[in-house]
Structure 1
Amino acid sequence: MQLSALACLLSLYALPLLCEATTVPQKNSKVPPGFVTTKGKEFELDGKPFAFVGANSYWLPLLTSQSDVDATLESMKQAGVKVLRTWGFNAINETELQGALETNLTYYQACTPISSFQWLLNDGPQGLQRLDNVIASASKHDIKVIVAFTNNWYGSDLYVNWIAGAGQPHDVFFTDSRIIASYQSYVKTIVERYKNSSAIFAWELMNEARCVSDTLPAGPACVPGSNTLKTWYEEQSNFVRSLDANHLITTGGEGQFFWEHPLQYWFNHTLVSDYNYNGQAGEDFDHDTLLSNIDFGSYHMYPQSWYPELDHPGSNFTIESWGLEWIDQHIHAANKANKPLILEEFGVSGLQNKTTIYPSWVQRALDTKHATIVHRSIMPWQWGQLGLTEDGGNRPIKYSDAIVDGASPNDGNTFYPNQTQVWDIFTRAAKIQNARSG
């Protein structure tokens, strides 16, 4: 184990924030060979269209067996996957360090009690070297990687608790200068580690940023119209661009809207303003996507879990039709921004639901309309791998604050090769996308 202490913030001048810069950093107009770029609404690779079906696997860097990592990426390659999305973070509290060492848990940061502004970076064989190995294996299998810097649901709240202290709302992550400096310090570590690698498809600022998390509430500074997340997206995308002028950058958001006249629905005899459209989540997909250093739009889709109060027998709500509208709305917004679009996560639970719903969602997401060549890309959540060797494939993994059973965890949305009808949906889509590529 190799640990190096990094001071996240000793003064407000230790790591200047990009919002104070007088000029906005720009992406290189000519990137090195092998780097993905954009041209209007298209992704390109070495001057040719790059359309793809991707895979989500947050758990790959958590594996301790390199042969299992290689086997998973080989399976992805055989299925036609061109892009992998994974976590570039796994932080723990200092009190968890001993347990992490005993269980061989992958971790990249550990909070230290020395200072509330300090964390330890683990760049050794139990730390970032495992992410190195995933990216190297992806490159060997001709798969590009989207790397997320942190997570709304547990990673970011560690920063809040470490630095701002107990009793603070979740959204101080986006506004507290000390927290932003700490985040940027870690981001700089990751970007500089891989900035010259053509295996990186894009940097992702945060997985599913919202005003609220699952452990901390939103504060009064993060409300519809406050532009808290948009400001943070702008500042952090500019910061990443200042470090790396070649790779693509995206938000990693779920794609919620802030419409002047948000959609509503009836529930329990009451007309309810829809959270996904009224700005309460904090995102404003139409305008966030326009930011100069956000290179493409990303959005997620889980209507089954987002609308449990409507998804019941006798309701006129259907998961399938809601998803089709959500896809169309994001296509419209991305077209207005003249930027590519990725349906970066989507899922439903239940094998029958997957079999009946996914074909229409995938078809709609990949459709080309009005003679405009737009090869939109999809990344279902999440990839399931059979035949892993760690503890017979049943090695428990600590994920967030819970123990997840199985080296390739099944969260209900996971799909596996032996689920033939579902598997075929995505392998067929991959063939279509690969045929559209140069």
Structure 2
Amino acid sequence: MTALRFTRRAALAGGAAALAAPRIGAQAPTPGFVARDGVALTLNGRRHRYAGTNMWYAAWLGADAPFGDRDRLRRELDRLAALGVTNVRANASAELSPLRNSVRPAFRDSSASYNETLLQGLDFFLAELGRRDMRAVLYLANFWEWSGGMATYLYWTNGGRYIDMNDPAHPWPEFPDFASGFYASAPAVALFRAYVRALVGRVSTVTGRPYRDDPAIMAWQLANEPRPGGSESAGRRNLSAFYRWVEETAALIKAIDPNHLVSTGNEGLKGCLESPDIVAALNAIPGIDYMTIHVWPQNWSWIDPADMAGSWPRCEALVRDYVAQHVALAQRAGKPLVIEEFGFPRDNVAYDAGTTTAWRDRYYRLIYESVLADMRSGGPSAGTNFWAWSGEGRPAHPDHHFRRGDTAWLGDPPHEPQGWYGLFDSDASGCEIVRAHGAAVAALG
């Protein structure tokens, strides 16, 4: 999920020239695996579209450990399947970090010894998806601090220097400018790629199947919300290293695992200095199979949570325009489009289950209606993943803050108020909107 503050600039008329983006032809399909054919995702020779969710904590829940709960994971996946959700985007990385809001336990520290307990939690999650004919998108790093992320790789290799997100001593955009130094750091990138090799090349302890041969994985994702920088100056300075990191990492994954798709995890314009040229260049990289975008009205100050009614018309217009711009950019790139994060707060700045969600419901309908219209017209829209599924999880503390050691996993990561964006199993109206969308997508065939 995205950070809480963003630069907001007009779309750039100039800037870095976009790479040529011819129509991308068909990936040689492997039966049972999602593939790409131009602007379409395909499965067994038919167009593949899906309704999905985000469940970043799935591997933690799947671990056979005090912090895990395999029975709950099974129940959550059953609930999602009943709603017509067939795709779950989850975190497959976390770095042991001094950053204030970073989750523990982590998948790894600075050594080459990885957390087998958590990896087996990921194995279990994928096996349970496979039993339900569901698929995962697994991200391999994080631009933000809540799972350690790129800033932690830098900390491990720069002599111990780091910046905490939202530290008053380091105001925005110092953190993203710092984290974006990752792309040009050869030692940091080498540590990251060692983990990529180990994970993508892993053999499941549950199924005995190599990950590369597991159709329960739809795609590997380079990172959660990688961006070239926070400020325009840093972002422009980092562009060459950013593109190179994307191209080389995608090629590495494809060399280990030719069966699965690869995507960036980028937010779209908001993660590309608001430059259409940068979005186009990023998605023209041959190893990237489909375009991703994220849509966060409150984080981007498109909606005022204290005045939902008054700020909604502007919000709606901006959301429609953002989606439409990326549909056009996906057509230009000749690749499918997935809105893989979209979230909205509960009414009246509330966080608890049982509070109302009228405006969130309206937002979900807006996203779903926009996507379905494009799907029905044969456009590049291929899927949606709402942020996020909290299911039966509930905030553990009255102040809704996450504390290290908590095991009441919610869709809201540790740096956010617990209950802010997550969809609870008791949110009847929201669950019905998701169910109706899943049915509508399935009906397209």
Confirm or deny a common fold (TM above 0.5).
yes
SS of the residue aligned with 2:151? helix
Alignment counterpart, residue 162 of structure 1, candidates 156, 165, 170:
156
Distance 1:77 1:88, change over 3 A: same
Contact 1:230 1:284 in 2 (8 A): no
Aligned length: 368
After superposition, what is the alpha-carbon deviation per residue over 1:265-311, rounded to whole angstroms, capped at 9, x for unaligned?
xxxxxxxxxx85258xxx92122111101000001010211126977
1:81 aligned residue (79, 85, 94): 85
Runs of 4+ in 1 over 4 A off after TM superposition: 26-29, 93-96, 217-221, 308-317, 392-396, 399-405
Q: Which moved more, 1:303-312 or 1:76-85?
A: 303-312
Give the Å deviation of 1:358.
1.9
Q: Secondary structure at 2:93's aligned position in 1?
A: coil
Unaligned runs of 5+ in 1: 1-25, 112-117, 259-274
Contact in 2 for aligned 1:28/1:245 (Cα 8 Å) = no
What is the CA-CA distance between 1:429 and the residue it aligns to?
0.8
For the 8 Å contact 1:301–1:323, the answer to whether it is kept is yes
1:257/1:286 contact within 8 Å kept: no
Matched, 1:132 2:158: no
- Paired residue for 2:329? 333
State whether residues 54 and 378 of structure 1, in contact with CA within 8 Å, keep that contact through their aligned partners in structure 2.
yes
Matched, 1:122 2:115: yes
* Cα drift, residue 417 of structure 1: 3.2
Letter in 2 for 1:291: I
Which residue is 2:183 aligned to? 174
Shift of 1:132: 0.5
SS in 1 for 2:262: strand
TM-score after normalising by structure 2: 0.74
Shift of 1:29: 4.2
Call closer, same or farther: CA 1:89–1:130 in 2, change over 3 Å: same
User: 2:244 matched to 1:238?
Assistant: no
Report the Cα distance in structure 2 between the residues aligned to 1:46 and 1:89, rounded to whole angstroms. 30
Q: Is the partner of 1:249 in helix, strand or coil? A: strand
Give the secondary-structure state (helix, strand or coil) at the position aligned to 1:150: coil
Q: Distance in 2 between matches of 1:27 and 1:164?
A: 42
Tell me how far apart the structure 1 counterparts of residues 225 and 99 of structure 2 sit (CA, whole Å).
27
Larger strand fraction of residues: 1
> 1:178: Cα distance to partner?
1.1
1:221-242: CA deviation from partner (whole Å, max 9, x where unpaired): 5327834422321121112112
**CA distance 1:235–1:341, shift in 2 (3 Å):** same
Partner amino acid, structure 1, of 2:113:
L
Answer whether contact 1:310 1:317 (CA < 8 A) is retained: no
Letter in 1 for 2:382: R
1:66 to 63, 70, 91: 70
State the shift of 1:179 in Å: 1.1
Q: Report the RMSD for the aligned CA atoms in angstroms.
A: 3.3
In the aligned structure 2, how far is the partner of 1:161 from the partner of 1:416?
Answer: 36
Gaps of 5+ in 2: 1-23, 62-67, 163-177, 203-210, 347-356, 412-417
The answer on whether the counterparts of 1:91 and 1:108 sit within 8 Å (CA) in structure 2 is yes
**Mean alpha-carbon deviation: is it higher for 128-137 or for 68-77?**
68-77
Aligned to 1:30: 28
Contact 2:90–2:136 (CA<8 Å) still a contact in 1?
Answer: yes
Q: 1:434 aligns with which of 419, 423, 442?
A: 442
Tell me if structure 1 keeps the 8 A contact 2:232–2:273. no
Instruction: Give 1:145's aligned residue.
Output: 136
What is the match of residue 197 of structure 2? Answer: 188
* Contact preservation (8 Å) 1:366, 1:377: no
